[in-house]
Amino acid sequence: MTARGSDGNGAASDPFGAFLSRYPAASGEAGPLQHLRLAVKDNIAVKGEPFTAGLPLFSDRIATETAPAASRLLHAGARFVGMTRTDAGGFGVTTPHVRNPVLPGRVVGGSSGGGAAALAAGLADIALGTDTGGSVRIPAACCGLVGFKPSHGPVSLDGVWPLAPSLDTVGLMARSLDALAPAAATLLGTEPARIAGASVRLGIDRNRLAACAPAVAAIFERAVERLRMGGMEICTVVLPDRDATIFAHSILVLAEAREIYAHDWPAMPQLFPDTAQRALAAASRLTDDDVAAARAAAGDIRRTFDAACSGLDAILTPTLPVLPPGVGTERIDIRGRRMPVVTALIAETSLANAVGGPALSLPCTGAADLFVSLQLAAPRGEDARLLAVAAAVAALVHPCAGNSRSS
């Protein structure tokens, strides 16, 4: 391992607080990813590195092995540059102790916010994170990045500290699809696919779009028009109800997290930051009937989603229904409806976790618009095709998202 940053943890050369440990002079093995610098989220094990998952409970924990997901990228030549910060235990969507390098005063997103900041600041080229309800796609959308959540299952969760195992996935962020696509293919163990843009059929649910902030909906509609003019077919679909999806997803996350911390939370609540404490307190109030109802609803949601996808290449939504919120925002108003920031930011992303399929966030505007991103989603197992569709979409709505800007 190469030397760490000058202060021993990289802070002197990491003004946005992205890293827990950092190795600016990274080196790696020869391989197809050897031109890419890799940052890894602090809930994914890298041997000899901090493995705290953002929790004081694990402040002294060091990984004894490297997670298979990280190993795949490292063995393909990716150059490890450090461990990035996360919301405590993954309970959050803002990573409040990390600053947004491209939108000062706006949240960096979470819980994989450290990786997003590292990319946006040019300190890494790809970032490995986790996504249980949007934790890769939300920070990607807040920082103008590409974020990819694979299907649930193909990427091993061994060596990954869990939040909700039935929903957890290991995902990737990058500044461009050029960087993300080969890393995603390595992670999945597949070959990149190609697709002709003119043959792409995308589905849109306008009822869900009507529940987005007007500025986001307007930018989204302009992007859709560019896709239509580029030859893509836009179809109207009916997706699972958004509120029902958020409700079922949230209950399942809390129920599974409650099991993970069944001993530590009651014994040492002081070692859980506020966001984690609030989540686990809510989890403690769930009944068996609540959880059974959420699992039944999740089954209905998967069936409705799969039916909506029939004959289509992907479903298209905004990644976030609002512009990236300001730091410290606790509640967000969307068309007269006020909700917690967590609920607002997972409103569109949680569906892909609930159905277990792949999803990708792609920027369609620049920082002048505070970043609005498109989200592409597909049924479970359609990862390679979704990545190919994303490349075709990027070529029409935001060409620079498909061109490498890595340093």
The C-alpha atoms of residue 343 and residue 389 are separated, in whole angstroms, by 28
- Which CATH number is associated with domain 15-188? 3.90.1300.10
pLDDT at res. 369: 67
Secondary element (H or E) of residue 147: strand 146-149
Catalytic residues: 41, 111, 135
With cut-offs at 50, 70 and 90, classify the pLDDT of residue 197.
low
Over residues 149-159, the pLDDT tens digits come to 999 999 999 99
Residues 6+ apart with CB under 8 A from 99: 15, 16, 17, 108, 117
Residue pair 380/155 in contact by the 8 Å Cβ criterion: no
Percent of the chain exceeding pLDDT 90 equals: 87
The C-alpha atoms of residue 349 and residue 135 are separated, in whole angstroms, by 9
User: Residue 210: is its pLDDT beyond 70?
Assistant: yes
Mean pLDDT across the stretch 8-21? 78
Residue carrying structure tokens 């836009």:
234
Mean pLDDT across the stretch 349-353? 98
pLDDT at res. 12: 53
pLDDT at res. 176: 94
Q: Looking at domain 197-378, what is its CATH homologous superfamily?
A: Amidase signature (AS) domain (3.90.1300.10)
* Edge-to-edge strand list for the sheet holding 37-41: 19-22, 79-84, 37-41, 126-131, 169-174, 146-149, 359-363, 373-377, 314-318, 201-204, 233-236
Domain ranges of the chain: 15-188, 197-378
The C-alpha atoms of residue 260 and residue 257 are separated, in whole angstroms, by 5
Over residues 146-196, the pLDDT tens digits come to 999 999 999 999 999 999 999 999 999 999 999 999 999 999 998 766 666
Which residue type sits at 28?
Answer: G
User: Could you give phi then psi for residue 86, rounded to 5 degrees?
Assistant: -140, 160
Peptide bond into 406 cis (omega under 30): no
| Tokens matching residue 64 | 């004894």
| Tokens matching residue 98 | 């990390």
Over residues 279-330, the pLDDT tens digits come to 999 999 999 999 999 999 999 999 999 999 999 999 999 999 999 999 999 9
- Return contacts of 157-160, CB within 8 angstroms, 24+ apart: 157/69, 158/67, 158/68, 159/44, 159/45, 159/63, 159/65, 159/66, 159/67, 159/68, 159/69, 159/70, 160/43, 160/44, 160/45, 160/67, 160/69, 160/130
3 alpha carbon, distance to own chain's centre:
29
User: Residue 366: is its pLDDT beyond 60?
Assistant: yes
Over residues 68-120, the pLDDT tens digits come to 999 999 999 999 999 999 999 999 999 999 999 999 999 999 999 999 999 99
